[in-house]
Amino acid sequence: MPWSRIKPDTNEPDFQIEGLPDNRDGRRVSYAEAINEALSQALGLDPRVFVMGQGVDDPSGMFGATRDLHLKYGAERVFDTPLAETALSGVAVGAALGGMRPVYFHNRPDFLLLAMDQLVNHAAKWHYMFGGAACVPLVFWACIGRGWGSAAQHSQALQGLFNHVPGLKLIMPATCYDTKGLMLAAIADNNPVLIIEHRMNFKQRGLVPEAPYTLPIGKGVIRRKGRDVTVVAVSHLVVEAYAAAQELSEEGIEAEVIDPRTLRPLDEALILESVARTGRLVVTDTGWKTGGVTAEIAAMVAEKGFSSLRAPIVRVANPDLPTPSGYTLERAYYIGKDDIKQGILKAVRGA
């Protein structure tokens, strides 16, 4: 599947990267390399860390994210698994209880539906259910498989499901810098953390310091300042929203683009503060619209930031349909820069 023909490899836009102020001349690596480096450093620094998952030791190594780690850290600490997502998720929970720090890779969120029982009924509840007696420090990772006719069962952006689960932290990075720092933060966290990546992000190259660093879970970042409308964009749509905002700037509309980076906990203060300035909100997410991430962010603002709002909230999300395979249907299905532009225009001009 020639992903390169879907979206060519590009440098990340020059948007603001918190913590990296003077970053224009930094080291640039691919998105996959950024994750790979985070994993490698975590494995090197903490003997409790291990990496498991169907195909982590493949030559392709999870789109490059886990490539060659088994050679560096050994097959005991970086291992392939049977196709048994339900039990293996429980194995990760048990290993965490037993003092390890598992990082469990799934190449697509679709397969996490087999892990729901262990993620939601077990991992997310264990600490609370036993009154704090035990911790479950683990990281689940999956990458949304958009494109090339991946179709209904291989392209789902299921963050809307996991966003509903108390006890799980949910991270959706959008830059190379963030994916490294948030991976290291997730591994260091004493709780179950789910990282959902997007296949399109893997086409990016960005500025990434070599030394290990963590970024705070629960802190968003303003990617672009603007006075007219707040656009909260998730995952690879941050890049799309940024592009939309840049284009609309020529029409005199200045959109502020917020990348929440983590959906749970959500940086509500950042969003509310922005809406207080702009009075308008567009929320865009790669998942389905109904009952998804855009619903929660919109509802939160309708509840806590209502007095700032000067226009209806606009949601730009995938249609409430399974993903079709055919490329023409795919094209009609997926949202991107132009849909966000329309959403912004609707929020600003009412049409």
Partner 1 sequence: MLPTAEEKLQLFRTMLRIRRVQERIESEYMQDEMKTPVHLYIGQEAIAAGVCACLRDDDAVNSNHRSHGHYLAKGGDLNAMMAELFCKATGCSGGYGGSMHLVDVAHGNMGTSAIVGGGIPIGTGQGLAFKMRGLDNVSVVFFGDGAADEGTFYESLNFALLKQLPVVYVMENNGWAVCSPTATRHSGDNVFHAGAGDRLFTAKIDGNEPEQVFAAMAKAVARARAGEGPSFIECVTYRILGHAGCLQQDPKGYRDPAEVEAWRARCPVCAYQRTLLAQGLLSEAGLAELEAELAAEIDTAFAFARQSPLPAADALLKNLFCE
- What is the chain's alpha carbon radius of gyration, rounded to the nearest angstrom? 20
Residue 263: how many other CB atoms lie within 10 Å: 26
CB of 85 or CB of 178, closer to ligand TPP: 85
CB of 101 or CB of 146, closer to ligand TPP: 146
CB of 111 or CB of 334, closer to ligand TPP: 111
CB of 14 or CB of 80, closer to partner 1: 80
- Let me know: does 195 contact 173? Beta carbons within 8 Å: yes
Q: Which of 154, 164, 198, 236 is catalytic?
A: 154
Of residues 152, 269, 276, 299, which one binds partner 1 by CB under 8 A? 152
Of residues 97, 100, 114, 135, which one binds ligand TPP by CB under 6 A? 114
Answer with the entry of ligand TPP, partner 1, a copy of itself, none that 44 interacts with (C-beta below 5 to 8 A by kind): none
Q: Does 1 bind partner 1 (CB under 8 A)?
A: yes
Answer with the entry of a copy of itself, partner 1, ligand TPP, none that 50 interacts with (C-beta below 5 to 8 A by kind): partner 1
Q: Mark residue 135 as left, alpha or beta (left: phi above 0; alpha: psi -120 to 50; beta: remaining).
A: beta
Q: Does 338 bind partner 1 (CB under 8 A)?
A: no
Q: Does 59 bind ligand TPP (CB under 6 A)?
A: no
Query: How many Cα atoms sit within 13 Å of 144 on the Cβ side?
Result: 27
What is the distance between the alpha carbons of residues 161 and 164, in angstroms, rounded to a whole number?
A: 6
- Let me know: does 66 contact 39? Beta carbons within 8 Å: yes
Name residue 311's beta-bridge partners: none
Active site residue 154: yes
Of residues 83, 133, 211, 351, which one binds ligand TPP by CB under 6 A? 83
Q: Does 99 bind partner 1 (CB under 8 A)?
A: yes
Cα 196 from chain centroid (whole Å):
4
Give the residue ranges of DSSP H helices in the chain.
3-6, 31-45, 69-73, 85-97, 116, 126-129, 159-162, 176-188, 237-249, 268-278, 293-304, 327-333, 337-349
Binding site for a copy of itself (CB under 8 A): 86, 110, 113-114, 116-117, 120-121, 124-125, 128-129, 151-153, 160-161, 163-167, 264, 287-288, 290-296, 298-304, 306-307, 309, 311-315, 320-322, 324
What is the distance between the alpha carbons of residues 332 and 330, in angstroms, rounded to a whole number?
A: 5
Answer with the entry of partner 1, a copy of itself, ligand TPP, none that 205 interacts with (C-beta below 5 to 8 A by kind): none
Q: In the numeric block, which tokens belong to residue 166?
A: 């108390």
Distant-in-sequence, close-in-space partners of 327: CB < 8 Å, separation ≥ 6? 149
The interface mask with partner 1, positions 311-330, x = CB under 8 A, is --------xxxx-xxxxxx-
Residue 8: how many other CB atoms lie within 10 Å: 8
Q: Does 332 bind partner 1 (CB under 8 A)?
A: yes
CB of 150 or CB of 294, closer to ligand TPP: 150
- Pick the stretch among 28-36, 56-64, 273-281, 338-346 that binds partner 1 (CB under 8 A): 56-64
Of residues 6, 23, 48, 111, which one binds ligand TPP by CB under 6 A? 111
Q: In the numeric block, which tokens belong to residue 292?
A: 């998804």
Q: Does 110 bind partner 1 (CB under 8 A)?
A: yes
What is the distance between the alpha carbons of residues 17 and 306, in angstroms, rounded to a whole number?
A: 29
Of residues 30, 36, 40, 54, which one binds ligand TPP by CB under 6 A? 54
CB of 170 or CB of 238, closer to partner 1: 170
Cα 307 from chain centroid (whole Å):
30
Distant-in-sequence, close-in-space partners of 210: CB < 8 Å, separation ≥ 6? 27, 37
CB of 167 or CB of 226, closer to a copy of itself: 167
Of residues 39, 62, 95, 215, which one binds partner 1 by CB under 8 A? 95
Q: In the numeric block, which tokens belong to residue 18?
A: 């918190």
Footprint of ligand TPP (CB under 6 A): 54, 83, 85, 111, 114
Residues serving a catalytic function are 154
